[in-house]
């Protein structure tokens, strides 16, 4: 006697047909992605605070965006070069939304309010990813010893 268990593996098709490169193994599933850190962003007319975010290392981060202004704002994260765009949708004054995105080393990201004209009025900022290389401390090439032996001995 054998029981045939039919696994519905073929039915587990990913719903998102975006142009992601694939191969990373990480999907944009709403659950299960471990968030390294949650960054708080405040929006108002017309600025983001902070306007520069530095992530210590690559990975998935959450951005909790609070609208502290008086009109509706929204929040978009975009990689330089176009890919990996995350949009919050409208955020009403006084409320907040959280978006998650995965950041790669060596890529710079832009965050902004996509509502008409807000970006050009100052609601834009930069997300930097640390880790491989970009430490921020510029080290002088210090290995050289200047061969100037003090004369006069």
Query: Is 43 in contact with 97 (CB distance < 8 Å)?
Result: no
Query: Which residue's CB is nearer to Cu ion, number 53 or number 123?
Result: 123
Taking the complex as a whole, the smallest distance from the CB of residue 123 to Cu ion amounts, in Å, to 5
124 forms beta bridges with 112
Displacement of CA 53 from its chain's centroid (Å): 9
- CB closer to Cu ion, 75 vs 129: 75
For the bound state, the minimum distance from the C-beta of residue 37 to Cu ion, rounded and expressed in Å, comes to 24
Nearer to Cu ion, 73 or 97 (CB): 73
Name the minimum Å distance from CB 117 to Cu ion: 8
For the bound state, the minimum distance from the C-beta of residue 102 to Cu ion, rounded and expressed in Å, comes to: 24
Nearer CB in complex with Cu ion: 55/113: 113
d(CA 85, CA 77): 5
Q: C-alpha distances in angstroms, 128 versus 46, 70, 125, 133, 143?
A: 21, 29, 10, 12, 29
Nearest partner of 70 among 93, 103, 91, judged by Cα = 93
Sites of contact with Cu ion (CB under 5 A)? 73, 113, 115, 118, 123
């Amino acid at each position: 006697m054998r029981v045939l268990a039919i696994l519905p593996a073929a039915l587990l098709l990913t719903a998102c047909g975006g142009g992601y490169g694939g191969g990373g193994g990480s999907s944009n599933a709403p659950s299960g992605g471990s968030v390294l850190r949650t960054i708080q962003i405040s929006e108002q007319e017309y600025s983001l605070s902070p306007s520069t975010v530095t992530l210590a290392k690559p990975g998935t981060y959450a951005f909790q965006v609070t609208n502290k202004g008086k009109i509706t704002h929204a929040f978009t994260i975009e990689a330089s070069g176009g890919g990996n765009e995350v949009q919050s949708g409208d955020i009403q004054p006084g409320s907040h939304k959280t978006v998650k995105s995965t950041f790669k080393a060596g890529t710079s990201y832009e965050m902004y309010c996509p509502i008409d004209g807000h970006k050009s009025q100052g609601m834009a900022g930069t997300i930097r990813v640390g880790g491989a290389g970009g430490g921020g401390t510029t080290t002088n090439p210090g290995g050289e010893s200047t061969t100037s032996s003090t004369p006069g001995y």
